[in-house]
Structure 1
Amino acid sequence: MGVARAMESAVPERETLKPLRVGLLGCGVAARELHWPALQKLAGRIQLVAVCNRTGAKAQAFADLVGGIDWYEDWQQLLARTDIDAVDIVLPATLNLAATRDALAAGKHVLVEKPLAATPADALAMQALADRYPQLVTMVAENYRYAWFVERLRAWIASGEAGRPYALHWNAMSRMAPDNRYIISGWRSSDAFPDGLLLDAGVHYVAVVRALLGEITRATLLPSRVQPHLGRFDGGSLQFQTETGAHGSLNLYFSAVGSQEWRLQLLAEHGCAEYDGTCLRIRTLGGETVEQRPDDDGYAAEFQAFADAVAGKAAHRSGFDEAWRDMQVISQSLAQPGVQQSFGF
């Protein structure tokens, strides 16, 4: 669902639904540059009530940025508020389990940033928490599940126009310097997050493969270790097969000096699709269509899905179980690099 559709859906609901009152945990760059702009697009549907960051100055600056709302350094104080329905957790993944546990215990619905957890053990504990609180919505902020390009490609495949898709290849190569604002916090290179940036970024790409081609049944991952500031693994090449009989590769390298590429290719029996992050080209025997991305890569749409789920309007499709399957493909493959892994999802 694109932003335009998300906003159209939200307009009439402002008259019938109370705004979802949200507290934000974590005031870093992802909260400022990705979550807050999306929340602004859903003004009236979602109300940001308070924010929290362990550094008081950062929490106060974010609170001022969004209109002078309340701020805290201790998330327990925010969670104690009875006027907050849900929390948006945008913390280092190493804190996802602790923050989610406390939020659910306080009776708050949870939207937590991907990846689901720092380790497989924590991911399983996250799933157990979701099972323990079935009355509360537990959702992972995997924006690609709601991104326009994924929805468009799903519709194209479902139409049958191009026949059966049989291969997907995706190259994502860039250099993330030590001062890159998205990694400067350093948690991705800590011992508490053993799989490094490859896990943090890789779950995005796995989520798309699963959305388009079904479950990944076998995979082999050859990782790279070039820049320590990106963690234990900073890139790699994943070869996979899916339950639908398709195969492909994810070539994800974030220490690539002099190389800048982000290109998805999807091959089907009677056509192909290419997407570069801005422009989607679909080619069949009947010709070519070119479409420009109309959305924010799914951020506003995922927040709308979260609000809809809390209101009981519709089930979301980004639960802890789905996020664990994304994560498992990377983590299990990294446990034995170069050895084919089987997945019994």
Structure 2
Amino acid sequence: MEKIVRLGLIGCGVAARELHWPALRQVGDAVQLVAVCNRTADKARALAELAGGIDWYDDWQSLLARPDIDAVDIVLPATLNLEATRAALAAGKHVLVEKPLAANPDEARAMLVLAQAHPDRVTMVAENFRHAWFLRRLRAWLAQGEVGRAYALHWHAMTTMAHDNRYIVSGWRGSEAFPGGLLLDAGVHYVAVARALLGEVTEASIEVSSVDPHLGRYDGGSLTLRTDSGAHATLNLYFSTVGHEEWRLVVLAERGSAEYDGATLTLRGADGRVQHEPKPDDDGYAAEFRALAAAIRAGQGGSDFAEGWRDMRVITSALAQPGQRVRIGD
């Protein structure tokens, strides 16, 4: 029987309760949640009870001191990722940290340095889009070769994030410590998919909007990307729209096209064949934990923090010069 990874969770907010814990329930044969931590004791206690009465703490030092915990799942505001990751690695734990990798480019680079200094530890970014069903399916569709290479991607993600939205009320996305606002926090999802399908981004430009200060400095923008394959992408990401809701991904290949609306993936080939594939119950969260467990079991160490940095770097580089086309480099 393969070893079950014993996991501690740091940060018991809405993402931990509604996204990470349900995924952990699906992967009990690979990962076991044994303790949780939150500076607000009531939140820690509530999640511990939800998870079956496991141990809880109101400081992460106590959780990290436990020798029976193999890895930690850090589900904190991005402004705390560096501090928590540093402490976890110093305690000898493997790390899964919620995206975005860090609050700003300097802290993201520091995260890379930390990972490089602990090559025997697994360090992963919890970017669920990278593990989600629709991306796996699109990559397999392109890999078959029948439709040729993907040369363009267009994504419209437009919605209203109300002030009382449970994912927004904590307010850290609007703080000066997180200058990218909701555009950076959510935008890394879309960049991750564009990179996975089209290749590394070499140039980017962005036009931004700042409609609702509660959502941070930037709550919307149109991001244009060019990749090393010669493909291009347009990401229209707006989170303060009034009266318009849309979430639609279109991928254009040389001999086919794909469209995904969050519920159904439609694939079209040159032969006129059309496939409609409904979304299964798979947003990528369970796959993240399985990937973490597999890496730990294999004893391979290593990091995908660089992937999280590349997602983030595209947006932060463009935001540094709005309206200008910028080169994306290391």
Q: Deviations over 1:236-289 (max 9, x none)?
A: 000111111111200000001111100000011111000011100001122100
CA-based RMSD of the aligned residues comes to 1.2
User: Could you say which residue in structure 2 is the equivalent of 1:33?
Assistant: 18
Cα-to-partner distance string for 1:15-52 (whole Å, 9 max, x where unaligned): x1121000000001100111001100011311111000
SS at match of 1:47: strand
Q: Kindly state the Cα deviation for residue 313 of structure 1 after the two structures are TM-superposed.
A: 6.9
- Aligned amino acid, residue 312 of structure 1: A
Q: Distance in 1 between matches of 2:171 and 2:258?
A: 36
For 1:343, the equivalent position in structure 2 comes to 328
Q: Contact 1:308–1:315 at 8 Å: present in 2 too?
A: no
Match for 1:126 among 102, 111, 115? Answer: 111
Query: Which residue type is aligned with residue 292 of structure 2?
Result: F
| TM-score, scaled relative to structure 1 | 0.93
Question: Residues of 2 paired with 1:291 and 1:166: CA distance?
Answer: 22
Query: Runs of at least 4 residues of structure 1 off by over 4 A?
Result: 313-316
Aligned amino acid, residue 253 of structure 1: Y
Instruction: Tell me the residue number matched to 1:111.
Output: 96
- Note the C-alpha offset of 1:315: 7.5
TM-score (norm: length of structure 2): 0.98
Residue number in structure 1 paired with 2:275: 289
Distance (whole Å) between structure 2 residues aligned to residue 299 and residue 177 of structure 1 = 24
Q: What residue identity is the alignment partner of 1:263?
A: R
Paired residue secondary structure (2:298): coil
1:273 aligns with 2:251: no
Q: How much has 1:158 moved relative to structure 2?
A: 1.2
Alignment partner of 1:79 is 2:50: no
Is the Cα contact below 8 Å between 2:6 and 2:68 reproduced in 1? yes
Query: Would you say the 8 A contact 1:168–1:266 is kept in 2?
Result: yes
| Cα distance between partner residues in 2 of 1:105 and 1:308 | 22
Give the secondary-structure state (helix, strand or coil) at the position aligned to 1:311: helix
Match for 1:302 among 288, 299, 303?
288
Distance 1:280 1:73 in 2: 43
**Match for residue 297 of structure 2?**
311
1:9 corresponds to which residue? none
3-state SS of paired residue (1:226): coil
- 1:186-237, Cα deviation, whole Å (9 max, x unpaired): 0000111011000000000000000000001111011110001100000100
Unaligned runs of 5+ in 2: none
**Superposed displacement of residue 166, structure 1:** 1.2
Q: Which letter maps to 1:81?
A: R
Instruction: Give the conservation status (yes or no) of the 8 Å contact 1:24–1:90.
Output: yes
Kindly tell me: are residues 191 and 336 of structure 1, through their superposed partners in 2, closer, same or farther at Cα, counting changes over 3 Å? Answer: same
Give the aligned partner of residue 194 of structure 2: 209
For structure 1, list consecutive stretches of 5 or more residues without a partner in the other structure: 1-15
Distance 1:195 1:315 in 2: 31
1:337: how far off?
0.6
Amino acid across the alignment from 2:297: A
Counterparts of 1:303 and 1:89, CA distance in 2: 12
Amino acid at match of 1:224: S
Which of 147, 159, 162 lines up with 1:177 in the alignment?
162
Once the two structures are aligned, what percentage of the paired residues are identical? 66
User: How many residues are matched?
Assistant: 329
Contact 1:196/1:233, CA 8 A, preserved across alignment = yes
1:147-162 equivalent positions in 2, closer than 5 A: 147-162=132-147
SS of residue in 1 equivalent to 2:312? helix
